Structure 1
Amino acid sequence: MTSSDTPPPATILVVEDEVLIRTAVAGYLRDCGYRVLEAGTAEEAQRIFASDEPVDILFADVDLGPGASGFVLATWTRQKRPAVRILLTSGVDRMAEKAGDLCDGPFLAKPYTHERLAEEIKRLLGRAGDR
Protein backbone atom coordinates (compact mmCIF):
# COMPACT_ATOMS: atom_id res chain seq x y z
CA MET A 1 0.00 0.00 0.00
CA THR A 2 1.48 3.34 -0.99
CA SER A 3 1.06 6.53 0.98
CA SER A 4 -1.46 7.71 -1.64
CA ASP A 5 -3.56 4.62 -0.83
CA THR A 6 -3.62 5.42 2.88
CA PRO A 7 -6.98 6.82 3.93
CA PRO A 8 -6.86 10.24 5.54
CA PRO A 9 -7.02 10.25 9.33
CA ALA A 10 -10.42 10.68 10.93
CA THR A 11 -11.29 14.25 11.83
CA ILE A 12 -12.48 15.03 15.34
CA LEU A 13 -14.03 18.36 16.28
CA VAL A 14 -13.30 19.03 19.96
CA VAL A 15 -15.66 21.62 21.48
CA GLU A 16 -14.67 22.67 25.00
CA ASP A 17 -14.84 26.13 26.56
CA GLU A 18 -12.05 25.40 29.04
CA VAL A 19 -8.98 26.15 26.92
CA LEU A 20 -6.56 24.05 28.99
CA ILE A 21 -8.79 20.99 28.75
CA ARG A 22 -9.42 21.55 25.03
CA THR A 23 -5.71 21.98 24.31
CA ALA A 24 -4.75 18.86 26.25
CA VAL A 25 -7.45 16.70 24.65
CA ALA A 26 -6.72 18.00 21.14
CA GLY A 27 -2.99 17.44 21.58
CA TYR A 28 -3.51 13.89 22.78
CA LEU A 29 -5.83 13.07 19.88
CA ARG A 30 -3.33 14.51 17.41
CA ASP A 31 -0.65 12.30 18.98
CA CYS A 32 -3.01 9.37 18.32
CA GLY A 33 -2.94 10.26 14.63
CA TYR A 34 -6.26 12.03 14.24
CA ARG A 35 -6.87 15.32 12.48
CA VAL A 36 -8.30 17.63 15.16
CA LEU A 37 -10.30 20.82 14.85
CA GLU A 38 -10.99 22.93 17.92
CA ALA A 39 -13.80 25.22 19.02
CA GLY A 40 -14.50 26.98 22.31
CA THR A 41 -18.23 27.48 21.72
CA ALA A 42 -21.11 25.82 19.93
CA GLU A 43 -21.25 28.78 17.59
CA GLU A 44 -17.57 28.34 16.62
CA ALA A 45 -18.28 24.65 15.97
CA GLN A 46 -21.24 25.54 13.74
CA ARG A 47 -18.99 27.87 11.73
CA ILE A 48 -16.52 25.02 11.25
CA PHE A 49 -19.34 22.78 10.01
CA ALA A 50 -20.59 25.58 7.72
CA SER A 51 -17.12 25.82 6.14
CA ASP A 52 -17.63 22.24 4.89
CA GLU A 53 -14.64 20.93 6.85
CA PRO A 54 -14.90 17.14 6.94
CA VAL A 55 -15.76 16.01 10.48
CA ASP A 56 -16.18 12.38 11.51
CA ILE A 57 -16.74 12.84 15.26
CA LEU A 58 -18.03 15.72 17.35
CA PHE A 59 -16.65 15.54 20.89
CA ALA A 60 -18.30 18.26 22.95
CA ASP A 61 -18.71 19.33 26.54
CA VAL A 62 -22.33 19.80 27.54
CA ASP A 63 -21.66 23.04 29.44
CA LEU A 64 -20.01 25.46 27.04
CA GLY A 65 -20.56 28.62 29.08
CA PRO A 66 -22.56 31.50 27.57
CA GLY A 67 -24.33 30.68 24.33
CA ALA A 68 -25.60 27.35 23.06
CA SER A 69 -24.93 24.21 25.08
CA GLY A 70 -23.39 20.98 23.90
CA PHE A 71 -26.93 19.54 23.80
CA VAL A 72 -28.03 22.28 21.41
CA LEU A 73 -24.92 21.69 19.29
CA ALA A 74 -25.50 17.93 19.22
CA THR A 75 -29.14 18.39 18.19
CA TRP A 76 -28.12 20.86 15.47
CA THR A 77 -25.41 18.47 14.26
CA ARG A 78 -27.90 15.57 14.08
CA GLN A 79 -30.12 17.70 11.84
CA LYS A 80 -27.45 19.31 9.64
CA ARG A 81 -24.72 16.63 9.52
CA PRO A 82 -26.40 13.31 10.40
CA ALA A 83 -23.35 11.22 9.43
CA VAL A 84 -21.22 12.83 12.16
CA ARG A 85 -20.86 10.62 15.22
CA ILE A 86 -21.41 12.41 18.53
CA LEU A 87 -19.73 11.92 21.90
CA LEU A 88 -20.67 14.24 24.78
CA THR A 89 -18.98 14.83 28.12
CA SER A 90 -19.73 16.72 31.32
CA GLY A 91 -18.72 16.92 34.93
CA VAL A 92 -22.39 16.98 35.95
CA ASP A 93 -23.75 13.46 36.51
CA ARG A 94 -27.40 14.32 35.84
CA MET A 95 -26.54 15.22 32.26
CA ALA A 96 -25.84 11.59 31.35
CA GLU A 97 -29.49 10.59 30.93
CA LYS A 98 -30.32 13.51 28.65
CA ALA A 99 -27.17 12.90 26.60
CA GLY A 100 -28.11 9.30 25.92
CA ASP A 101 -30.45 10.18 23.06
CA LEU A 102 -27.86 12.41 21.37
CA CYS A 103 -24.70 10.35 21.75
CA ASP A 104 -23.48 7.57 19.51
CA GLY A 105 -21.53 6.19 22.44
CA PRO A 106 -21.78 6.28 26.19
CA PHE A 107 -21.81 9.67 27.84
CA LEU A 108 -18.24 10.35 28.97
CA ALA A 109 -18.28 11.65 32.54
CA LYS A 110 -15.53 14.04 33.63
CA PRO A 111 -12.92 13.43 34.70
CA TYR A 112 -12.10 10.88 32.02
CA THR A 113 -8.71 9.57 31.02
CA HIS A 114 -7.26 10.26 27.60
CA GLU A 115 -7.05 6.50 27.11
CA ARG A 116 -10.79 6.10 27.77
CA LEU A 117 -11.53 8.87 25.26
CA ALA A 118 -9.31 7.19 22.66
CA GLU A 119 -11.10 3.85 23.23
CA GLU A 120 -14.50 5.45 22.67
CA ILE A 121 -13.33 7.23 19.52
CA LYS A 122 -11.87 4.01 18.12
CA ARG A 123 -15.13 2.25 18.88
CA LEU A 124 -17.14 4.99 17.14
CA LEU A 125 -14.89 4.76 14.11
CA GLY A 126 -15.01 0.97 14.08
CA ARG A 127 -11.25 0.77 14.53
CA ALA A 128 -10.97 -1.11 17.78
CA GLY A 129 -7.72 -2.77 16.66
CA ASP A 130 -6.02 0.45 15.50
CA ARG A 131 -4.16 2.98 17.56
Structure 2
Amino acid sequence: MRPHRLKIYFDGGCRPNPGAIEIAVVARGHTYISRGHGYGTSSDAEWLALIQAVRIALSLEEPDFVLIGDSATVVNQANGLWKCRGADLQGHLQVFRDLTRSIGKVPIRHVKRSQNLAGIALARAH
Protein backbone atom coordinates (compact mmCIF):
# COMPACT_ATOMS: atom_id res chain seq x y z
CA MET A 1 0.00 0.00 0.00
CA ARG A 2 1.26 3.43 -0.89
CA PRO A 3 2.03 5.67 2.12
CA HIS A 4 -0.12 8.59 0.89
CA ARG A 5 -3.22 6.46 0.29
CA LEU A 6 -6.14 7.55 2.48
CA LYS A 7 -7.27 4.79 4.83
CA ILE A 8 -11.02 4.67 5.35
CA TYR A 9 -12.19 2.28 8.07
CA PHE A 10 -15.73 0.89 8.16
CA ASP A 11 -17.75 -1.27 10.55
CA GLY A 12 -21.36 -2.18 11.06
CA GLY A 13 -23.30 -3.98 13.71
CA CYS A 14 -26.72 -4.71 15.06
CA ARG A 15 -28.09 -5.48 18.49
CA PRO A 16 -29.35 -8.19 18.73
CA ASN A 17 -28.47 -10.05 15.52
CA PRO A 18 -30.69 -9.56 13.60
CA GLY A 19 -31.60 -6.19 15.02
CA ALA A 20 -31.33 -2.43 14.64
CA ILE A 21 -28.41 -1.55 12.38
CA GLU A 22 -25.69 0.98 13.23
CA ILE A 23 -22.61 1.83 11.21
CA ALA A 24 -19.35 3.71 11.62
CA VAL A 25 -16.77 5.07 9.20
CA VAL A 26 -13.47 6.76 10.10
CA ALA A 27 -11.69 8.92 7.53
CA ARG A 28 -9.13 11.70 7.94
CA GLY A 29 -9.50 11.56 11.72
CA HIS A 30 -13.25 12.14 11.60
CA THR A 31 -15.70 9.53 12.86
CA TYR A 32 -19.09 9.16 11.19
CA ILE A 33 -21.55 7.11 13.25
CA SER A 34 -25.11 6.64 12.15
CA ARG A 35 -28.11 4.64 13.24
CA GLY A 36 -31.55 4.33 11.77
CA HIS A 37 -30.59 2.02 8.93
CA GLY A 38 -33.47 -0.30 9.69
CA TYR A 39 -33.47 -3.85 10.88
CA GLY A 40 -31.13 -6.53 9.54
CA THR A 41 -28.27 -8.91 10.13
CA SER A 42 -24.65 -8.19 10.95
CA SER A 43 -23.84 -8.84 7.28
CA ASP A 44 -26.37 -6.19 6.24
CA ALA A 45 -24.77 -3.78 8.71
CA GLU A 46 -21.25 -4.46 7.41
CA TRP A 47 -22.38 -3.95 3.82
CA LEU A 48 -24.14 -0.69 4.67
CA ALA A 49 -20.98 0.50 6.43
CA LEU A 50 -18.88 -0.36 3.37
CA ILE A 51 -21.33 1.48 1.11
CA GLN A 52 -21.22 4.52 3.42
CA ALA A 53 -17.41 4.40 3.36
CA VAL A 54 -17.49 4.60 -0.44
CA ARG A 55 -19.90 7.54 -0.29
CA ILE A 56 -17.64 9.34 2.15
CA ALA A 57 -14.58 8.67 -0.02
CA LEU A 58 -16.41 10.08 -3.02
CA SER A 59 -17.53 13.14 -1.05
CA LEU A 60 -13.94 13.79 0.01
CA GLU A 61 -12.95 13.67 -3.66
CA GLU A 62 -10.02 11.50 -2.68
CA PRO A 63 -8.71 9.63 -5.73
CA ASP A 64 -6.38 7.29 -3.84
CA PHE A 65 -7.95 5.44 -0.93
CA VAL A 66 -8.27 1.99 0.59
CA LEU A 67 -11.32 0.71 2.46
CA ILE A 68 -10.53 -1.26 5.60
CA GLY A 69 -12.94 -3.49 7.52
CA ASP A 70 -12.97 -6.45 9.87
CA SER A 71 -15.67 -8.54 8.20
CA ALA A 72 -13.81 -11.14 6.16
CA THR A 73 -17.08 -12.14 4.52
CA VAL A 74 -17.97 -8.66 3.26
CA VAL A 75 -14.38 -7.84 2.25
CA ASN A 76 -14.13 -11.07 0.24
CA GLN A 77 -17.60 -10.63 -1.30
CA ALA A 78 -16.88 -7.02 -2.31
CA ASN A 79 -13.51 -8.09 -3.75
CA GLY A 80 -15.30 -10.71 -5.86
CA LEU A 81 -13.61 -13.64 -4.11
CA TRP A 82 -16.78 -15.05 -2.47
CA LYS A 83 -20.35 -15.15 -3.73
CA CYS A 84 -23.11 -13.16 -2.08
CA ARG A 85 -25.87 -15.53 -1.12
CA GLY A 86 -29.38 -14.16 -0.83
CA ALA A 87 -31.19 -11.28 -2.47
CA ASP A 88 -30.38 -8.78 0.30
CA LEU A 89 -26.62 -9.30 0.07
CA GLN A 90 -26.72 -9.29 -3.73
CA GLY A 91 -28.60 -5.99 -3.50
CA HIS A 92 -25.87 -4.50 -1.30
CA LEU A 93 -23.22 -5.73 -3.74
CA GLN A 94 -25.07 -4.09 -6.62
CA VAL A 95 -25.24 -0.75 -4.79
CA PHE A 96 -21.51 -1.03 -4.09
CA ARG A 97 -20.77 -1.78 -7.75
CA ASP A 98 -22.97 1.10 -8.91
CA LEU A 99 -21.15 3.53 -6.61
CA THR A 100 -17.69 2.38 -7.65
CA ARG A 101 -18.32 1.89 -11.36
CA SER A 102 -16.97 5.33 -12.26
CA ILE A 103 -13.77 4.92 -10.22
CA GLY A 104 -12.88 1.35 -11.12
CA LYS A 105 -11.44 -1.27 -8.79
CA VAL A 106 -11.51 -0.12 -5.20
CA PRO A 107 -8.97 -1.71 -2.84
CA ILE A 108 -10.62 -3.29 0.19
CA ARG A 109 -8.52 -4.79 2.94
CA HIS A 110 -9.35 -6.97 5.92
CA VAL A 111 -7.93 -6.23 9.38
CA LYS A 112 -8.45 -7.70 12.84
CA ARG A 113 -11.26 -6.16 14.85
CA SER A 114 -8.71 -4.67 17.25
CA GLN A 115 -7.16 -2.72 14.35
CA ASN A 116 -10.43 -1.39 12.92
CA LEU A 117 -10.77 2.26 14.00
CA ALA A 118 -14.45 2.28 12.98
CA GLY A 119 -15.19 -0.79 15.07
CA ILE A 120 -13.42 0.77 18.05
CA ALA A 121 -15.45 3.98 17.61
CA LEU A 122 -18.70 2.03 17.34
CA ALA A 123 -17.93 0.09 20.53
CA ARG A 124 -17.12 3.31 22.41
CA ALA A 125 -20.38 4.91 21.28
CA HIS A 126 -22.32 2.57 23.60
Give me the TM-score of the superposition, normalised by structure 2: 0.33
Query: Which has a greater percent of strand?
Result: 2
Q: Which has the higher contact order (CA 8 A, sep 6+)?
A: 2
Larger Rg belongs to: 1
Give me the TM-score of the superposition, normalised by structure 1: 0.32
